[in-house]
A and B are shown apart, each in its own frame.
Chain A
Amino acid sequence: MISVERVDVRVDKSTAQGERLALGRVRLFLGRNLGGYLFLLPALVIFALFVWYPLVLGFVMSFQSVDMINPAAWVGWTNYHMVFSDPLFAIAWRNTLAFTGYALLFGYVVPIVLALLINEMRHGRALFRLAFYLPVMLPPIVTAFLWLWLYNADSGLINALLGLFHLPGGLWLENQSSALPALVVVATWGAAGSTFLIYLAALQGVPASLYEAAEIDGSNLWQRIWHITLPTIRPIMLLMLVLQIIATMQVFTEPFTITGGGPDNATVTVLMLIYRYTFQNAEFGEASALGVILFLVLAIFALIYMRMTSRLMEAD
């Protein structure tokens, strides 16, 4: 009995002490961290409300029937079935992938070559940088409508230039086979400048001593490009490849404003289809389902990108 009492007393004492200790620890923890949490609070609230919540909501909505008037109802995989059975689904993906392919064809090598050449220039580098970056500054709506006018069949600049050389003009945007590549030209014109600047900066990081050593060893220009320049900027080249794929698969503004998806759905893209489901058919659930599919496809490229960046960071 006595011993039990003693134990009880001891327990009492130790809990009191423990409480005091715990309280002190909480105070210490807060003293050390409260400032940090308060400073993180605005960003945490914003990210929770406007990134993570809609991201989760998108997955939930893709299994619901949502029209913003009636309460949302659970419909299982119906939205996905609807999306997959829509004849426009295949067309939109084919167009989007074709857009990405053309965009790489037009816009991947050109900035590299341009940066390589301009990096060799001893005059006018500032002018070239300005000239080729300028379109990036223009609002996409300006670029889109400007090119709509350049492509004009009768009074547009492009057919006028072709006319100067007695070449036949074309109905660039009205023709099913040329409409999509015509849009890729617009998007590339508007975006290639930033890629170019990134390569230009990367080229400045190639050590001059490597070139000198290679020259002493009797290498020619092509060998130097092939064995020194390109290997040095290869990490950036890989990154830009993935980033350009991710960016061009989100194409919307050009087809939406220039062709409206036509002619005969030749320029309907995935994002345009999402827009149509929502604002023409009020099918928010189907739009979310297609958004989830787009997310999954882009996630594959994002994962590749992350593996590359982590390898780059390790290399630093």
Chain B
Amino acid sequence: MEDSSERTLVSPLVLRSPAGRAIYWTVFALLLFSTLIVFGPLYWMFSSALKPSIEIFQSPPTIWPLHPAWSNYVSAWNVLQYPLYFGNTVILAAGAVVLQLLVSATAAFALSKLRPAGKGIIQFIFFSTLMVPPVVYLIPQFVNISNLPLIHVSLINNWAGVWLPEAASALNILILKSFFDTIPTELTDAARLDGANVWQLFSRIILPLSRPALAVVTIFTVVASWKDFLWPLLVLFNPEVQPLSVAIYHEAGINSTYPLPFNYLMAGLVLASIPPILLFLLFQRQIIRGVNLTGLKG
């Protein structure tokens, strides 16, 4: 959808003049060229993945492999045990979504619509943590997870050890609360008069009306979980429960005993990139809206 009627810095009149048009198309061509800075590396990842073991270390490298080895993808799939790690990554993302939505939506609903006494203090408890990046308490959190207070349970090598700390998302509460705030109070008041209890208010009125906001939070939770590296690296030692990014690091990183050959590694990276890229193509609109909601996170 091109909004050509909309006026920006340069007026439509100037754009129609020959000189204006020449400059416009020059800038357009330059921008098109600059997309190579993104597509170039991505192409290189894809084409390197197809190179046989000898060709990949050829100098200077070939632009397109002389003998494309599609079997590299199969090898990467097997060596990296993709079914296992894909599965783990999906489970970690799904659990993160369920828990984060549950925790954030209930809190946002209470703050927006129920407004209990002490709301100001409770809001402060949540929102002041927006300013505290979790890495500053990385190590105490690790100690916390290895021996939870009172119940003395260790969540090391347990998916819950990743899910629970992530569930404390002040940003999600903020996003959902500001969306809930836009739902008119008349609506909830009317439902109350009709005898709806608090739970029905939440599950039958607020949640169904908030699908766009819930979608944004869901997508961003999935993406964040898919990108997560440091925390799962610390908590999940056991290869059986690791997500893709941690498994790739252990297979190919500087400290691995037998680092993966680069062509297999590139094939592995391509496989790991497909789900988030598909997600982006499918939910572009929600993601772009979401960046502007959550973007302040940086």
Contacts and interface: CB of A to CB of B under 8 A. Distances in A.
B61 A155 contact: yes
A90 interface: no
A131 B38 contact: yes
Given A43-B106, A54-B144, A134-B38, A257 B249 contact: yes
B135 A250 contact: yes
B15 A122 contact: yes
A82 interface: no
Interface in A91-128: 114, 116-125, 127-128
A274 B139 contact: yes
Given A57-B144, A124-B32, A139-B227, A239 B125 contact: no
Given A46-B168, A132-B35, A36 B291 contact: no
Interface in A266-284: 271, 274, 277-279, 284
A122 B2 contact: yes
A134 B42 contact: yes
Contact of B115 (A36, A128, A135, A215): A36
Contacts of A212: 7, 11
A140 B227 contact: yes
Interface string A66-89: 101000000000000000000000
Nearest to A215: B11
A25 to B, nearest CB: 12
Query: Which of A34, A142, A215, A305: most chain B CB closer than 10 A?
Result: A142
B107 A40 contact: yes
B44 A150 contact: yes
B185 interface: no
Given A120-B10, A284-B143, A42 B103 contact: yes
Given A145-B248, A157-B61, A257-B253, A137 B139 contact: no
Given A40-B110, A257-B253, A58 B137 contact: yes
A213 to B, nearest CB: 11
A142 to B, nearest CB: 5
B215 interface: no
A241 to B, nearest CB: 10
A248 to B, nearest CB: 9
Given A50-B164, A294-B135, A66 B143 contact: yes
A197 interface: yes
B164 A46 contact: yes
Interface residues of B, number: 106
A54 B141 contact: yes
A49 B298 contact: no
Contacts of A68: 143, 146
Contact of B272 (A135, A142, A156, A243): A142
A295 B37 CA distance: 35
A171 to B, nearest CB: 14
Nearest to A306: B131
Given A141-B249, A246-B133, A239 B39 contact: no
Given A146-B45, A154-B59, A243 B116 contact: no
Contact of B60 (A34, A57, A163): A163
A26 interface: no
Interface in B124-139: 125-126, 129, 131-139
A141 B189 CA distance: 49
Given A36-B110, A61-B143, A134-B38, A116 B9 contact: yes
Interface in A231-269: 239-240, 243-244, 246-247, 250, 252-253, 257, 260
5 contacts: A118-B31, A140-B227, A155-B56, A208-B8, A253-B230
Given A246-B298, A298-B133, 8 more contacts: A51-B168, A61-B139, A128-B31, A132-B35, A139-B245, A160-B60, A225-B9, A299-B131
Interface of B: 2, 4, 6-11, 15, 24, 27-28, 31-32, 34-35, 37-42, 44-45, 48, 56-61, 102-104, 106-107, 109-111, 114-117, 119, 122, 125-126, 129, 131-144, 146, 148-149, 164-165, 167-168, 173, 198, 202, 223, 226-227, 229-230, 234, 244-245, 248-249, 252-255, 262, 265-266, 269, 272-273, 276-277, 279-281, 284, 287-288, 291-292, 295-298
Q: What 10 pairs between A and B have smallest CB-CB spacing?
A: A36-B116, A43-B107, A36-B114, A243-B298, A208-B7, A39-B110, A33-B116, A295-B136, A302-B131, A35-B198
